A and B are shown apart, each in its own frame.
Chain A
Amino acid sequence: MTKDECRKLVIDIISDIAPDEDLSAVKPDVRLRDQLQLDSMDFLDIVMELRKRHGIEVPEADYMQLASLDSCADYLTPKFQAKA
Chain B
Amino acid sequence: MKHTRIVITGIGLTAPNGNNLAEFRANLLNGVSGIDWTEVRYMGRWPAGLCKFDPFKHQKKKDVRIGTRAGSISIYCAREAVADSGINLDARDKSRIGVYLGITEHGNVETENEVYNISQFKYDTKFWTHHHNPRTVANSPAGEVSLNLGTTGPAYTIGAACAAGNMGLIHATQMLRLGEVDLALCGGVSESPQTFGIFAGFKSQNALASHADPTKASRPFDKGRNGIVISEGGAIYTLERLEDAQARGAKIYAEIAGYCVNSDATDYVLPNPERQAQCVEKALINAAMTVDDIDIVNTHATSTPQGDIQECQAIATAFGKRKEPAAINNTKSFIGHAMGAAGALELAGNIPSFDDLVVHPTINVDELDPQCDIPGLVINQPRSVKRVDAILNNSFGMLGINSTLIIKRFRS
Contact = CB atoms under 8 A, between A and B. Distances in A.
A20 B126 contact: no
A19 B129 CA distance: 18
B131 interface: yes
Interface in B237-285: none
B61 A52 contact: no
A41 B131 contact: yes
A20 B130 contact: no
Interface string B53-80: 0000000111001100000000000000
Contacts of B127: 48, 51-52
B121 interface: yes
Task: Identify the interface centre among B60, B62, B129, B131: most chain A CB within 10 Å of its CB.
Answer: B62
Contacts of B130: 41, 44-45, 48
A18 interface: yes
A14 to B, nearest CB: 11
B58 to A, nearest CB: 14
A16 B64 CA distance: 12
Interface range on chain B: under 10, 10 to 19, 20 to 34, or 35 or more? Answer: 10 to 19
Contacts of B131: 41
Contacts of A16: 65
Contacts of A37: 62
Question: Which size bracket describes the interface of A in this complex?
Answer: 10 to 19
A79 B319 CA distance: 74
A18 B64 CA distance: 11
20 contacts: A16-B65, A17-B62, A17-B65, A19-B61, A19-B65, A20-B60, A20-B61, A20-B62, A37-B62, A41-B66, A41-B130, A44-B130, A45-B130, A48-B127, A48-B129, A48-B130, A51-B126, A51-B127, A52-B121, A52-B127
Interface string A16-56: 11111000000000000000010001001100100110000
Contacts of A44: 130
Nearest to A57: B126
B28 to A, nearest CB: 36
